Amino acid sequence: MAGAIWALGTMSGTSLDGVDAAMVQTDGVTITAFGPHAYRPYAHAEREVIRAALGQWPGDPQVVAAAEVVEAAHAEVLSRFSGVDLIGFHGQTLAHEPRGRGTHQAGNGALLAELFGVPVVWDFRANDVRLGGQGAPLAPFFHHACARWAGLTEPVALLNLGGVGNLTWVDPAIPKPEDACLAFDTGPANAPVNDLMQSRLGLAQDEGGALAAKGTPDAGVIARFLQNPYFFKMPPKSLDRNDFNGLLIAVQALSDVDAAATLTHAAAAAVAKGCEHFPRPVTKILATGGGRHNATLMKALAARTGLPIAPVEDIGLNGDMLEAQAFAYLAVRVLRGLPTSAPTTTGVPAAVGGGQISRPAAATAALR
């Protein structure tokens, strides 16, 4: 297979909101075009099945049920697309302990390969972890390709605000992504606020940051939060969704509005700490992920970082689909034997490729 192909990537993030799917035309190096995209929200019952399995590993009680929900939801949204040469299936992260038991994404890519009759690249993180990396974040190489696609020439930071926040510092003037990126998880982003809204008010999220806007952040809680040893580690570094569960406990005594404000400002403070690690200064931060729709969070980020915070739409990208697009792009890199992570993105000792490829018989014949 030579030249650019159409890959369809999926992402079901730690916010547990649903499945994003998006197509990218690429040769694994240069982005040629962005294609159609779709979103399939999880129903409340589906979300609770997945939530019950968070922190669990293969063989644990709730994992099979969670995997079935993930696979069925992905199958439904993937069925909306045509003209797909390759699928990049991330699955749903249930547990992530790169220095412990490894990393666990629920969902079997081989099932989707048989269902759709095209090769599926999946289990993107395990190889990186096996070789000594953090297994996350994996979007930086795609961020580098996006910056070059947009014609940027100076260093820029891309901030993904999902359940966990992560930053990618990119120098698009450097051709190879393994030489041009620094990436790491900043800390909790949407997950604590989403969990607070779910447990207290039965809502999936603080829509637009409306509740947090009415509250006052607790400076003491945020100061103690910033003393967590994670913030003193040098990048690259990564987190599990549940690594900062103590933050929810810390706001238990606060009112709904003050608790939401505290969790929102804590996420922004964590990003500001992360900016201290940039190799060279940036003039702006481009935000992606669901958190960029949270006006209170965006204001807090600008105030705490001292930098303009703009959505990635400002350079022509789709911030709702960037992670799904990333796994489309990475799937092509895996197919072509190109690296997907490097020492400065996951801490792996050398640039490596990840992911396994499941090919149905018909697809194997087509690729020859």
Q: What pLDDT tens digit does each residue of the chain (368 aa) get?
A: 469 999 999 999 877 889 999 999 999 999 999 999 999 999 999 999 999 999 999 999 999 999 999 999 999 999 999 999 999 999 999 998 888 899 999 999 999 999 999 999 999 999 999 999 989 889 999 999 999 999 999 999 999 998 899 999 999 999 999 999 999 999 999 999 999 999 999 998 999 999 999 999 999 999 999 999 999 999 988 887 778 889 999 999 999 999 999 999 999 999 999 999 999 999 999 999 889 999 999 999 999 999 999 999 999 999 989 999 999 999 999 999 999 999 999 999 999 998 999 999 754 444 43
Question: What pLDDT is recorded for position 1?
Answer: 45
- Residue 255: how many CA atoms within 13 Å on its side-chain side? 8
Question: What pLDDT is recorded for position 368?
Answer: 37
- Name the domain count of the chain: 2
Calculate the CA 327 to chain-centre distance. 10
The rounded distance, in Å, linking the Cα atoms of 193 and 230 is 20
In a domain, 96, yes or no: yes
The rounded distance, in Å, linking the Cα atoms of 188 and 38 is 26
Q: Does residue 111 share a domain with residue 193?
A: no
What's the distance, Cα to Cα, between the start and end of the chain in Å? 8
Q: Does residue 155 share a domain with residue 19?
A: no
Give the residues across from 159 on adjacent strands.
167, 287
The rounded distance, in Å, linking the Cα atoms of 368 and 359 is 12
In a domain, 71, yes or no: yes
Residue type, 128: D
The whole domain housing 93 covers 5-134+346-367
Question: What pLDDT is recorded for position 362?
Answer: 56
Tokens of residue 278, six digits? 């940039």
Q: Does residue 271 share a domain with residue 203?
A: yes
Question: What pLDDT is recorded for position 305?
Answer: 97
Strands laid side by side in the 164-170 sheet:
181-188, 164-170, 156-161, 285-288, 309-311
Q: Does residue 206 share a domain with residue 102?
A: no
What is the pTM (predicted TM-score) of this model?
A: 0.89
**What CATH code is carried by the domain that includes residue 122?**
3.30.420.40
